[in-house]
Amino acid sequence: MQVAEDKGLLNYYEFSPLGKLTRYYHTSIAKVIQKEYHSGPVYHKRHKVSNGSSYTRNEYIYDTISTVYFYNENQNLKLKRYNDGNYYESYYYDYSSDGRVEIEMRCRETNVSPNKHEFKLGSQMVISEESFMYQPTGKNQFKKICKNDEDRPYKEIIFNLDDKGKIIGINEQYIVTWIIQQSNFTYNDKGQMTSALYKGNSNGDVEEKRTYEYDANDCLLTEKQFKNGILQKEISYITDANKKVNSYLIRDPAQKNIRIVKLLYQYY
């Protein structure tokens, strides 16, 4: 029940001329400094009308965390590189002729460029490498086989699609363990997603659900997030007449707080 406070937290998105995300970076609070301020007594016609006061105010020191994205000639993501200070972590992707990911490699890297705003690869250590195979298993269905860096299958994923090619179900099963994960999606007549339901047993039985509502202009209006049937977050989107999102509000009923996000657009 407090007044909303602007902590100066920002999220930036940069796009290519084709609309592909090329860079995302955001600020996070690294340190909070609490400063105390004092005001002296106030006089009016030589009479003291106020003894003065003191108050405290938080000042913030920020870190910037960024991710850059690179694409191949078919506009498929081939590299994304995460950076937090001096730490760099990258994901590399190779694709089949039909545009499906065949290899994903995760690496820890160092930047030897004297200009920290530019990246020049120094050392590179492979953290993990996975490969993927795809098999048709029926009408509107295919299987994805995930292999580890020893070329051994460790997980199988079944994808179910509707007649329009939209994914309506994903069933994941780990081969060595009894872990099962299941996702189901529903759409309205306009092809907009109305719900996403996830069930898994990796850390006990968990059910997570998201519902989506749209306004008369087919713009996303409300998103609700549930966990085991309990509302976790409710997000309300505010759009203008051009269907552009101007801001959105995130309500957390458990913490009883609201986060307000305002969006600004720039064109070059």
Stretch among 33-47, 55-69, 81-95 having the lowest mean pLDDT? 33-47
Is 104's pLDDT higher than 90? yes
Is 4's pLDDT higher than 80? no
What count of other Cβ atoms lies within 10 Å of the Cβ of residue 107? 19
Asked if residues 237 and 248 have their Cβ atoms less than 8 Å apart, the reply is yes
Tokens of 186: 């529903």
162: Cα separation from own chain's centroid:
26
What count of other Cβ atoms lies within 10 Å of the Cβ of residue 67? 18
Q: HSE of 107 in the Cβ direction (CA atoms, 13 Å)? A: 18
Give the integer Cα–Cα distance in Å for 96 and 192: 28
Backbone angles phi, psi at 4, to 5 degrees: -60, 135
More confident residue, 256 or 196: 196
Nearest Cα to Cα of residue 239 among 213, 267, 211, 204: 213
Is 56's pLDDT higher than 90? no
Give the integer Cα–Cα distance in Å for 119 and 110: 9
What pLDDT is attached to residue 1?
Answer: 61
What pLDDT is attached to residue 226?
Answer: 97
Query: Which residues lie below 8 Å from residue 203, measured CB to CB, with a gap of 6+?
Result: none
Instruction: Assign 73 a pLDDT band (cuts: 50, 70, 90).
Output: very high
Q: Percent of the chain scored above 70 by pLDDT?
A: 99
Highest averaged pLDDT of the listed ranges 30-34, 57-61, 125-129: 125-129
In the 8-state DSSP scheme, what is residue 115?
Answer: S
Is 178's pLDDT higher than 90? no
Average pLDDT over residues 112-122: 89
Q: HSE of 195 in the Cβ direction (CA atoms, 13 Å)? A: 7
Instruction: Assign 227 a pLDDT band (cuts: 50, 70, 90).
Output: very high
Is 247's pLDDT higher than 70? yes
